Amino acid sequence: MSPLDWNRDGLIWPHRDASRFVEVAGKRWHVQRMGAGPPLLLLHGTGASVHSWRGLMPLLAAQHDVIACDLPRHAFTTGHNAYAMSLPAMAREVQGLIDTLGVVPQAIIGHSAGAAIALQLALDHGHTGPIVGLSAALRPFPGALAQIFPAVAKALFVNPLVPRIFTGSIDLVGGPERFLWRSTHSRIDAQGLACYARLLKASGHAGGALAMMANWDLPGLRARMGAVHNRVLLLHGANDPAIPPDWARDAARWLPDARLELLPRLGHLAHEEAPEIAAERIALFIETAASQGVRP
């Protein structure tokens, strides 16, 4: 599976002028960086890319040095082993990137699975600053599904035809816009839709998302959540069909210092639908944490 081509596919990417490529131990990371001030790290969810921060990133950059990356085997980040996509492994890879960049994030903001990576960074790599989870995917599937879903994802991943079949079937389910609406209940702008359309039809990117899901271990993270001492804000779209609000309430109870705020009328991509609302809540949370002595 060939990766997306930055000089072809990347021409439509938001904030292209903020992009750079960073080599870390033989891997090539696509990173966007803007603003000045205390650093913030942004981690997107499964199947997305830095484009998902197009509205939120400039707002946060008014007060911060904002750093976003395409996760391993996603979009324009290449070179990662397909079988090293577990949650601890991905956190380790992200830590290697921020070490190479020479930054210590004041706070980490993760969307969906990116929030799980943020908590893993706290548990395994000593991040002590606040964490924001946007529609955070933290609750394991109930009962036997916790074992069945990763097993199915792994079975699909090891079949090299599956990513191509998936990308070829997007038009059969009504195209990218309809697919996104059915899976997220979010209405996003044309620029975001164009990027998702490009990603959804890229078999290499789809293979990376499948590899991530096949190796994900949320039960393992759940068992350690009581040891997360970071202050956590969970911002969750009240209309999110992917991660139901009741699942977010469970996660908030499992974390020692977490607060859940539901965002009315928004879906799984709430931060893309209403970046101004997300930026306001995030800024207040980080400012409050800093005033109370919470430091990275």
Q: 244-284 pLDDT, tens per residue?
A: 999 999 999 999 999 999 999 999 999 999 999 999 999 99
- Domain assignment of residue 205, yes or no: yes
pLDDT tens digit sequence for 48-60: 999 999 999 999 9
pLDDT tens digit sequence for 167-177: 655 664 557 77
- Domain assignment of residue 1, yes or no: no
Q: What's the CA gap between 31 and 50, in Å, rounded? A: 8
pLDDT tens digit sequence for 164-218: 544 655 664 557 778 788 889 999 999 999 999 999 888 888 888 888 887 888 8
- Domain assignment of residue 186, yes or no: yes
Instruction: Look at residue 61 in the predicted model and tell me its pLDDT.
Output: 98
Per-residue pLDDT band at 31 (split at 50, 70, 90): very high
Closest listed residue to residue 203, CA positions, set 152, 174, 165: 165
- Domain assignment of residue 254, yes or no: yes
DSSP readout, 245-265? HHHHHHHHHHSTTEEEEEETT
Cα 199 to Cα 50, 193, 229, 266: the distances in Å are: 12, 10, 35, 23
Residue span of the structural domain in which 12 resides: 6-293
Strand boundaries in 38-183, DSSP class E: 39-43, 65-69, 107-111, 131-134
Torsions phi, psi of 97, nearest 5? Answer: -65, -50
- Domain assignment of residue 255, yes or no: yes
* Number of domain units in the chain: 1
- Domain assignment of residue 147, yes or no: yes
- Domain assignment of residue 269, yes or no: yes
- Domain assignment of residue 225, yes or no: yes
If you ran DSSP here, which 8-state letter would residue 226 be given?
G
We report the CATH number of the domain holding residue 157 as 3.40.50.1820
Record the pTM. Answer: 0.91
pLDDT tens digit sequence for 63-95: 999 999 999 999 999 999 877 789 999 999 999
